[in-house]
Amino acid sequence: MTNMEPTLTMEIKDNTFARQFEATVPEGLLSVEYSFQEKKIFLTKINTPENFENQSVIDILLKNIMELSTEKNFRVVPIHPKIAAFFKKNPKYKELLPPGIRI
Distance CA 4, CA 70 (A): 25
pLDDT score for 87: 95
Higher pLDDT, 47 or 5: 47
What's residue 20's pLDDT? 97
Task: Please check whether residue 52 is in contact with residue 45, taking contact to mean a CB–CB distance below 8 angstroms.
Answer: no
Q: Which residues contact 98 (CB under 8 A, 6 or more apart)?
A: 40, 75, 77
Give the tens place of pLDDT for each residue, 29-46. 999 999 999 899 999 999
Model confidence over 42-56: pLDDT tens digits? 999 999 999 898 989
Each residue's pLDDT tens digit, 51-75: 898 989 999 999 999 999 999 999 9
8 A C-beta contact, residue 62 and residue 86: yes
